[in-house]
Structure 1
């Protein structure tokens, strides 16, 4: 398995991965039957937003992390994260690797903040995000409706300018 950028010509492989994760994961936003394939739209996203993925040797995409950036001037410093990883590859460090590469990219790009939301019942994900350096900023009350119940989401963010970044001595 390798972690690398997802290219526009891999739109169909990314969509297949998303569909599989929608079927496996309880906490993804899309229900399996809700996601539709619009190749042109997905290719456009892959061109203008950041997508990184977990790929097999034959280039099958098994996980992804996307960063959506606004075109609005007042919001250009923010990246909103979505992530999914097929069940069989979880707990192997691949999500951590995707985040590490994303954080490096976001710092190079000049982003100041990365943010995401997570359902409050998804304790493993919350602990994982906190371990990475995300902090809880608030609660979106009853923002998700599933299984005939309303669920709260946590709003979490990482301030990239507050991270401890070690620079080599020769740069000082």
Structure 2
């Protein structure tokens, strides 16, 4: 198992892990039939992330963490995260490793705030986020519609020690 950056050469591998996550869990955004492979679209998606890493096992991506910074000056010190780890690879420390890489990147780039949303019934993810220093800021009521019912989401964040906006000019 190794953690590494994902780039446009990994478009098919990245799409494959996203598609498998859509199929095996109800905690990701898309339903199993919503994701269609489009090579140029996947490359575009990869290139728009400010930070994208994956966990690789035997040439296959088994998890990933992406971060996208705000583009406007007022929110360029904030990054929104998406994390997914295949079921068979959960509870093996992969999430912790992904977040260690993220912390290094965030500190290097002068990020002040990381944020994410998580369904309130995704107990394993919530435990991982708490372990990584995230706190619940609020509830997005009835934010997702899954299996015929509405599910609330927690809005969570991690705030780094004081960072001046002038320190966030690097990309």
Q: In 2, distance between residues paired with 1:104 and 1:23? A: 31
Partner of residue 55, structure 1: 56
- Contact 2:118–2:125 (8 Å) recurs in 1: yes
Q: Is 1:106 aligned with 2:106?
A: yes
Partner of residue 160, structure 2: 160
Q: In 2, distance between residues paired with 1:22 and 1:77? A: 30
Q: Which runs of 5+ in 2 are unaligned?
A: 163-171
User: SS at the partner of 1:161?
Assistant: coil
User: SS at the partner of 1:35?
Assistant: coil
**1:134-149 → structure 2 map (5 Å cutoff):** 134-149=134-149
User: SS at the partner of 2:36?
Assistant: coil
How much does 1:70 deviate? Answer: 2.5
User: SS at the partner of 2:161?
Assistant: helix
Partner of residue 87, structure 2: 87
Using the size of structure 2 for normalisation, the TM-score is 0.89
Partner of residue 73, structure 1: 73
Partner of residue 3, structure 2: 3
Using the size of structure 1 for normalisation, the TM-score is 0.88
- Contact 2:54–2:61 (8 Å) recurs in 1: yes
How much does 1:84 deviate? Answer: 0.7
- Contact 2:53–2:98 (8 Å) recurs in 1: yes
Partner of residue 167, structure 1: none
Give CA-to-partner distance per residue, 1:103-152, whole Å, 9 cap, x none. 11111011111111011111222122111100000110111111111111
Partner of residue 169, structure 2: none
Displaced runs of 4 or more, over 4 A: none
RMSD: 1.3
Q: In 1, distance between residues paired with 2:44 and 2:29? A: 21
Q: Which runs of 5+ in 1 are unaligned?
A: 163-172
Give CA-to-partner distance per residue, 1:20-66, whole Å, 9 cap, x none. 11111121111111112232232233234111000124x32111111
- Contact 2:11–2:39 (8 Å) recurs in 1: yes
Partner of residue 32, structure 1: 32
Q: Is 1:19 aligned with 2:9?
A: no
Partner of residue 165, structure 1: none
